[in-house]
Structure 1
Amino acid sequence: MYTLLVVDDETKIRNGICNYFPWNEIGFEIIGEAKNGRQALDTILKQQVDVVLSDIKMPVMSGIELAQELYSREISTKIVFLTGYKEFDYAQKALMYGVKSYIIKPTKYEELLATFSKIKDELDRERQQELAIPVTLAADATVQLPEAPEDPIEEQGYHEKKIAAIKAHIMECYRDVTLEEVAGLFHMNLYYLSKYFKKWSGQNFSEYVISVKMEKAAELLRDFSYKSYEIGSAVGYDNAKNFSRAFKLYFGKSPREFRDSPP
């Protein structure tokens, strides 16, 4: 059973989606509702959400902004937009951030069924691929770690070393590092790496990458020879507005406010 989060600012629509479609019969369990993208993001950061079914135009944080946050944080939650807005630019932005489908309200039962049946098949394939990938690393010239020992204590030490190696790579290549790149480097499946990193480090992969970027940005902000947009670019944010938003979300202050505050 895969987890589904329903996001819409209209209570009536959320209730209808949750109560009048046989989600359990097609392999999904509704684990929550949210009335805007911010509430949805908070839920996704706290628990595993496989799929989000979301409206686009909402107060506080729109569906597009939610998709952008998940994309920038490299969170693997899949998104389906359910919206009454037919403008082409919305559809383009949805595709840009990896949104799986774009359904116009009012949707037909058959369309909803077909869309989520396809997503379930995709999730099934990813899960099967995860189970088929061996846990241990294949030694190469770039990353060399021993195979996991059978002794539980030694095995824990092995996994801690592996996480340390992954973190060291992120610390070195934080500007452009991606889940896909690290998965290839350490010979791990994308989906498995995400779960593995969470299990053995206690953090989501994307959360750790963001923390490294933000701590480096904070360090650079103490040097007044750098402009804010230059620092944003240095840590991987080519859009100054996105950098400012991410920095404030992490520190509770904008880059300007942080720079003006006492060290």
Structure 2
Amino acid sequence: MHKLLIVDDEYEIRNGLSHYIPWNEIGFEVVGHVENGLAALNFISKHPVHVLLCDIRMPVMTGIDVARELSKQKSHVKIVLLSGYKEFEYAQQALDFGVRSYLLKPAKYTEIYAVFSRIKEELDENPPPTPSPPEAAFEKTIEEDDISTRAIRLIKKYIHEHYKDATLENAAKIVYLNPYYLSKYFKTQTGENFSDYLTRVRMNKAVELLKDVKYKTYEISELVGYSNAKNFTRSFRKYFGQTPREFRNMD
């Protein structure tokens, strides 16, 4: 039996794919099902896997990212991407990284059977080498810290570029997380709440603008995302211990 790993951030989908497709009849054994690309790479680094059935849009690390990383590592794992998105660019990127096939949700059993029957024939004719411990762990295994750093960097970049109207909900869309999970994730990775980081960016920008006398306080308030000048003054005083006017008159 060839070993299959299923990756999808929706439990119902990965559980359904794992249990309601007669994989053994096609020649595959489901050795695991995980919720994101990072978990998939970690699983592959520790267990033999011949084929990956992987969703494209997932939190933190997408299916395209997984394909890119496995391609970079010259992995023998064959990849079938599964997605509800029909944009050609996704399929094109998938082909660039050696992905074997691209299935659209909801994939029909006949389509899955055809794709995996073909892959089974390829594996039977050209069995992949048994990975040695160094190969199984990759010559350069991607670490969780690396992925976390990239995700946090994207979120911080979004805040710095859109501090005026940045929201947790919009930030969450960038890394494909729900807002509640992103809030916890950001706090865990940075030790700072999303809202506190946004406030810090806004306050530091306000300081820059206060040094330019052409801006009035209410104008600065609007520029850094406060529609109410009193709220801006209150936040500034809480953060710096003085009002914007006092700060400007310090010199």
Task: Flag whether TM exceeds 0.5 (same fold).
Answer: yes
Q: How does 1:6-155 map to 2 (within 5 A)?
A: 6-127=6-127
Letter in 2 for 1:204: E
Partner deviation per Cα, 1:151-193 (whole Å, 9 max, x = no partner): xxxxxxxxxxxxxxxxxxxxxxxxxxxxxxxxxxxxxxxx44x
Q: 1:204 aligns with which of 125, 129, 135?
A: 135
Distance in 1 of aligned mates of 2:103 and 2:136 = 30
Letter in 1 for 2:81: F
Are the aligned partners of 2:46 and 2:136 in contact in 1 as well (CA < 8 Å)? no
Q: How does 1:182-201 map to 2 (within 5 A)?
A: 191-192=128-129, 195=130, 198=132
Are the aligned partners of 1:75 and 1:206 in contact in 2 as well (CA < 8 Å)? no
Are the aligned partners of 2:47 and 2:136 in contact in 1 as well (CA < 8 Å)? no
Runs of 4 or more consecutive aligned structure 1 residues displaced over 2 Å after TM superposition:
205-208
**CA 1:206–1:13 in 2, change beyond 3 Å: closer, same or farther?**
closer
SS in 1 for 2:5: strand
Letter in 1 for 2:77: T
The alpha carbon displacement at 1:20 in A equals 1.0
Q: CA RMSD in A?
A: 2.5
**CA 1:206–1:16 in 2, change beyond 3 Å: closer, same or farther?**
closer
Distance in 2 of aligned mates of 1:70 and 1:35 = 17
The alpha carbon displacement at 1:205 in A equals 7.7
**CA 1:40–1:253 in 2, change beyond 3 Å: closer, same or farther?**
closer
Distance in 2 of aligned mates of 1:207 and 1:9 = 24
Distance in 1 of aligned mates of 2:98 and 2:48 = 18
Are the aligned partners of 2:5 and 2:31 in contact in 1 as well (CA < 8 Å)? yes
SS in 1 for 2:134: coil
Q: How does 1:236-247 map to 2 (within 5 A)?
A: none
Partner deviation per Cα, 1:236-256 (whole Å, 9 max, x = no partner): xxxxxxxxx88x749x999xx
Normalised by the length of structure 2, the TM-score is: 0.55
Normalised by the length of structure 1, the TM-score is: 0.53
Are the aligned partners of 1:6 and 1:33 in contact in 2 as well (CA < 8 Å)? yes
Distance in 2 of aligned mates of 1:104 and 1:207 = 30
Are the aligned partners of 2:9 and 2:59 in contact in 1 as well (CA < 8 Å)? yes
SS in 1 for 2:56: coil
SS in 2 for 1:106: coil
Are the aligned partners of 1:84 and 1:104 in contact in 2 as well (CA < 8 Å)? yes
Distance in 1 of aligned mates of 2:149 and 2:41 = 19
Partner deviation per Cα, 1:176-227 (whole Å, 9 max, x = no partner): xxxxxxxxxxxxxxx44xx37x2xxx4118833x48xxxxxxxxxxxxxxxx
Q: How does 1:201-240 map to 2 (within 5 A)?
A: 202-204=133-135, 207-208=138-139, 210=140
**CA 1:204–1:249 in 2, change beyond 3 Å: closer, same or farther?**
farther
Distance in 1 of aligned mates of 2:115 and 2:105 = 14
Q: How many pairs align?
A: 150
Distance in 2 of aligned mates of 1:22 and 1:207 = 31
Unaligned stretches of 5+ residues in structure 2: 151-251
Distance in 1 of aligned mates of 2:33 and 2:137 = 23
Letter in 1 for 2:40: A
Rg comparison, structure with higher value: 2
